Amino acid sequence: MSENTLTTETTAVAKTTTAPATLLWAIVAGAVATVASTFLAWTWTTAFPGNLTVYGYPAPLQMLTLVGAVLTAAYALAALGIKGFGWLIPTGARKALWILALGTFVTTLFTAISIIVELGALVDLEPGAGVAVVAAAVPAIAAYLLPDDTRKAAPAKPLPSWAEILVIVGAFAVGLYVVTFGIDTDDSEPQLFIAYLILVGFAATALAKSGLTQRLTRITARNRQVTVASSLVMAIAFPFLQQSGDTYTLIAVNILIFATVALGLNIVVGLAGLLDLGYVAFLGVGAYTAALVSGATSSAFGVQFPFWAAALTGMATSLIFGVVIGAPTLRLRGDYLAIVTLGFGEIFRIAMGNLDGTSGPRITNGPNGIPNIPHLEFFGYNFGESHTVLGIELGAYANYYLLMILVMALVVLVFSRAGNSRIGRAWVAIREDETAATAMGINGFRVKLVAFALGAALAGLAGTVQAHVNTTVVPENYMFAGPVPPNSAFLLAAVILGGMGTITGPIVGSALLFLIPAKLQFLQDYQLLGFGIALILLMRFRPEGLIANKRAQLEFHENDDDQLAVPEQRQSAEAGTQADGTAKAGA
């Protein structure tokens, strides 16, 4: 081999080695410039919501760009091998880096475009906004040019138990802050909430692609009791962190009600595989029952049960309805069962509107519903009044929020115990193949009826609380599809979006499907359009849901192991194949 050939090969190897490092340092430089741009003014007038005219102090919209740039820089430093950052990239840095850099750029660009659209001219942008857009584009372009370094995560070094506890507590604290930030965004600033959704979506995807989410999941699995306790403490701490009183706590209460009902539906759909399109009717049964027996002035019964009795009555009534409706219909399967349950939901809503004393017996006051439902009272603690706890004033909705935390904890306990029990395994067997399960001795009808009745009872429990939170019950609240959740369509979507058969999946799906319409009310006319587009994208890129169980993940991604093989292994395999071919040719 000649000296010129050796020189050329050495130069090529050097370029291959230094190119990623150059790109990574470009990413770091662009991220630092992006951070600096958030301390500049992005517009000259306060007419744009959020006041982006201040120098030296980032506004909330600029803070989102700052956070994205800091995360991008951290991942770039991890890819460079800087000590102390390697734990960020168990499965490689390139995908996570590109997603984070792209998310930061999209968030920044969205803010700049919003300023132009809101104020009406390009000249309304200050130079700081231009610097931010250009600086954020540099890491996005550089990260896209990086070579793929995807690899299987090496076994993590074992941490002391106290360190794992700190990791869990820290993760939940960050999660609480992120959720609180999103709920607390001012309704008059929809740009802030949209930018928040963009950045959180990209960041969550990046954490999953880097393998960090999987490692955190393993840590929480090893410390279940600490995980449960941390999640409960963080959830209880939410109303104490609200700076605006009950303004946004009502949204949190409705999210919990929505999520509790979705968990009940998850038993029917996610575990037993029964497509129920009228499930919201069971929520209405519980709500109407509680309204009739809780002392409402327009109640036809004129009785006032204590809440525990009203809750049990609502659960029992919903369970009875579940058995009565399920007994003749659960012998059907698939589309036929879906049509029958859809009919039941519509029959319930119409019946509640006709029991007004004219079209039928006077029980529900017809379309006017049952108003003036009194607030709950436990041992002299009135849920409708403000109370000072630990020096912090809690309003009425904060009281109901804490009550719903207890209700949800009960529902989660029932779901987890039932799912891991003998009947839970029978539900899964029925869902996977009812014919095979029946051949193995499982009584399919009885198992499905238990799932239907249990799901109805849990929905009825949530309905009893909803009646007192809203202080009124009307038939229009329990439609198959409507502008405001919960309704049957949104409940089913929450289960599918979050991940069927899991506990956290429907909770996350419910939070997204309730929070987004509540914060983006100006898009109400296009809400269903956006909802449909989101479901199409979800089915295309993540058909198992945002938080999927292992079975669904394996079913939908059974070939991913071959696709995600380590690049170096693929290259060595290809080199080995070429070497074998050369040897055979030489022979």
Average pLDDT value for residue range 459-472: 89
Amino acid symbol at 143: A
Give domain status of residue 575, yes or no: no
Amino acid symbol at 576: G
Examine the domain organization and report whether 270 and 392 are in the same domain: yes
- Same-domain pairing of 125 and 266: no
Assess if residue 538 is contained within a domain.
no
Long-range CB pairs of 80-87, under 8 A, 24+ apart, other chains included: 80/21, 80/24, 80/25, 80/28, 87/212
Local confidence band at 487 (pLDDT 50, 70, 90 cut-offs): confident
d(CA 344, CA 323): 13
pLDDT at 5 over 70: no
Query: Over 70: is that where the pLDDT of 572 sits?
Result: no
Task: Kindly tell me if the per-residue pLDDT of 563 is higher than 60.
Answer: no
- H or E, element range at 116: helix 94-119
Find the mean pLDDT for residues 9-17: 36
Reported as a single tens digit per residue, the pLDDT across 495-530 is: 888 888 888 888 888 888 888 877 777 776 676 777
Task: Give the C-alpha separation, 522 to 256, whole Å.
Answer: 24
Quote the domain boundaries for residue 43: 18-230
Say if residue 324 is in the same domain as residue 368: yes
Among candidate residues 149, 150, 138, the one with its CA nearest the CA of residue 104? 138
Asked if residues 190 and 84 have their Cβ atoms less than 8 Å apart, the reply is no
Pairwise pLDDT comparison (289 vs 521), residue with the higher score: 289
Where do we find the tokens 């930030």?
Answer: 181
| Residue 477 three-state SS | helix
CA distance 30 to 263: 44
309, two tokens: 């009795």
CA nearest neighbour of 456 among 302, 330, 298: 330
Dihedral of alpha carbons 533, 534, 536, 540, sign: positive
Q: What is the dihedral of CA 320, 322, 323, 324, to 10 degrees?
A: 80
> What is the H or E stretch that residue 306 is in?
none
Q: pLDDT digits over 66-99, tens only? A: 999 999 999 999 988 888 888 888 888 889 999 9
pLDDT at site 437 = 86
Question: 306-315, 375-384, 419-428, 575-584: lowest mean pLDDT where?
Answer: 575-584
Give residue-wise pLDDT tens across range 157-193.
Answer: 788 888 889 999 999 999 889 988 888 887 777 889 8
Last residue of a domain, which of 230, 265, 293?
Answer: 230
| pLDDT at 10 exceeding the cut of 50 | no
Among residues 184, 200, 230, which one ends one of the domains? 230
254 and 223, same domain (yes or no): no
Residue 237 domain flag: no
pLDDT of residue 19: 60
259: CATH: 1.10.3470
Residues 249 and 222 in one domain: no
Fill in the DSSP letter of residue 387: E
Residue 378 lies in a domain: yes
Beta strand spans in 348-465 (E): 377-378, 381-382, 387-389, 392-394
How far apart CA 329 and CA 345 sit, in angstroms, is 13
For every residue of 248-297, DSSP letters joined together read THHHHHHHHHHHHHHHHHHIIIIIT----S-THHHHHHHHHHHHHHBT-T
Please check whether residues 256 and 354 belong to one and the same domain: yes
Same domain assignment for residues 181 and 295 = no
For residue 248, report the phi and psi dihedrals to the nearest 5 degrees.
-110, -5
584 pLDDT more than 70 = no
At residue 555, the pLDDT reads 61
pLDDT in tens, 307-339: 888 889 999 999 999 898 888 888 877 788 888
At 116 the pLDDT is 92
In a domain, 581, yes or no: no
Q: Are residues 480 and 503 in the same domain?
A: yes
Any domain includes 255: yes
**Measured between alpha carbons, how far is 50 from 61 in angstroms, rounded to an integer?**
7
What does the alpha-carbon distance between residue 99 and residue 323 come to, in Å, rounded to a whole number?
49
| Residue 9 in this model has a pLDDT that exceeds 50 | no
Which range, 48-52, 110-114, 491-495, is most confident?
110-114
Distance from the first to the final alpha carbon of the chain: 22
- Please, which residues have CB within 8 angstroms of residue 511's CB and are 6 or more apart in sequence? 179, 255, 259
**Per-residue pLDDT tens digits for 217-250:** 888 888 888 898 988 888 888 888 776 667 778 8
DSSP 8-state secondary structure symbol assigned to residue 52: -
Q: What per-residue confidence (pLDDT) applies to 137?
A: 95
Please report the pLDDT score of residue 6 as a whole number: 38
Sign of the Cα torsion 527, 400, 505, 443 reads negative
148 and 270 part of one domain:
no
Q: What would the DSSP string read from start to end of 547-570?
A: S--HHHHHHH-TTHHHHT--HHHH
Q: Is residue 266 part of a domain?
A: yes
Token duo for residue 410 = 């009960």
- For residue 567, is pLDDT > 90? no
The domain total for the chain is 2
Q: pLDDT tier at 38 (50, 70, 90 boundaries)?
A: very high
Are 280 and 173 found together in one domain? no
pTM for this structure? 0.81
Residue 318: both structure tokens together: 């919903």
How many C-beta neighbours within 10 Å does residue 504 have?
A: 15
Whether residues 205 and 282 share a domain: the answer is no
User: How does residue 14 score in pLDDT terms, banded at 50, 70 and 90?
Assistant: very low
Residue 312 and residue 319 in contact, taking contact as beta carbons nearer than 8 Å: no
Q: How confident is the model at residue 143 (pLDDT cuts 50, 70, 90)?
A: very high
Residue 140 and residue 220 in one domain: yes
Q: Is 562 contained in some domain?
A: no
User: Do the Cβ atoms of 496 and 320 come closer than 8 Å?
Assistant: no
Last residue of a domain, one of 198, 230, 262: 230
